[in-house]
Amino acid sequence: MSVYVHPDLEPVLAGLPERSMFGDIPRAREGMRRAMSTRAPYDDPRLSIEDAVATPAPGTDGPEVPVRIYRPVGAEGALPAVLFFHGGGFILGDLDSGDRNCADMCVGTGAVVIAVDYRLAPEHPCPAALTDAWTALRWTSARAAELGVDPGRIALSGHSAGACLAAGLTLRARDEGGPAIAFQQLLLPALDDRPDGGSRAEIDDPRVLNGASVAQLWEMYLGSGSAEAPAYAVPARATDLSGLPPAYVQVAGADPLRDEGVAYARRLMEHQVAVELHFVPGAFHLFEDWAPATELARSTVAHWTRALRDALDGK
């Protein structure tokens, strides 16, 4: 890789093979499932975990959506909530792939965390994932009392493609007058389908997510109608970002998505939205998953956990 790589990540990068990351989707999905199966089960007495199903609001389209609910044990009263959308380029991932992130988020923030198992492309192209995300949000808000959730303190968080869903959902909630979103957390976000040079061209290492892979993933998600993609699907296409809730945007120096994350944060600022932009030098895409034991990964997770906790606590 021609760009700077953090010393913590150099050994990890050196051990990664060159590959076409998304050329064989069934194989990629099976590889992810095998990797998840090798992880020790998350067993922490500080939280409880249960699977549930989010049902569409009466009169709306879309299927039921599987969710997983992480709850702090012993907490009383109405708690803040975080809807979490896993990454995976719109084509990979499930509830298990985001399990560790969600458990850590629950323990670190004291919030009820609800992971959303949205449908994946290319079998289910846009707007399927957005429809599922919207169903989960409305279900959470409508059942806040049953879930022990404060409807005024619901945040959206996502990694990569999941951050795209979180940003799009925030735009739709603003436009439709709710449900209310207190905070949006966009971690290494994919926000713009339009090729633009910059970090997309700069990051070309075949061992990690690169610009060519990003273009391929957007095509699988949006299909042939990408030129007319709505802003909810591609948040960078939104012309008006005013009236949105405060945001935390994390970008990484060796990530092809770096520039679009920075650009979106700047545009939020231009529209008078409070933003915290966190830049991680020398990190490639989803480095926290590739190298979770490194000090860089641990400090990064601690940083966005603090930001989310402070936002939900009203600090």
Quick one: DSSP state of residue 310?
H
Residue 94 is among the residues annotated as catalytic for this protein: no
Q: Where are the alpha helices (DSSP H) in 86-180?
A: 99-109, 128-142, 144-147, 161-175
Helix (H) or strand (E) holding 84: strand 79-85
Catalytic residue among 8, 150, 205, 255: 255
Q: Considering the candidates 160, 192, 199, 213, report the single residue annotated as catalytic.
A: 160
Q: Are strands 79-85 and 149-159 parallel, antiparallel or unpaired?
A: parallel
- β pairing state of 149-159 and 183-187: parallel
Q: Does the active-site annotation cover 255?
A: yes
Which of 250, 195, 222 has the alpha carbon at shortest distance from 89?
222
CB 234 within 8 A of CB 207: no
The Cα–Cα gap between 308 and 236 comes to 23
48 catalytic? Reply is no
- Among 6, 86, 159, 285, the active-site one is 285
Residues assigned a catalytic role: 160, 255, 285
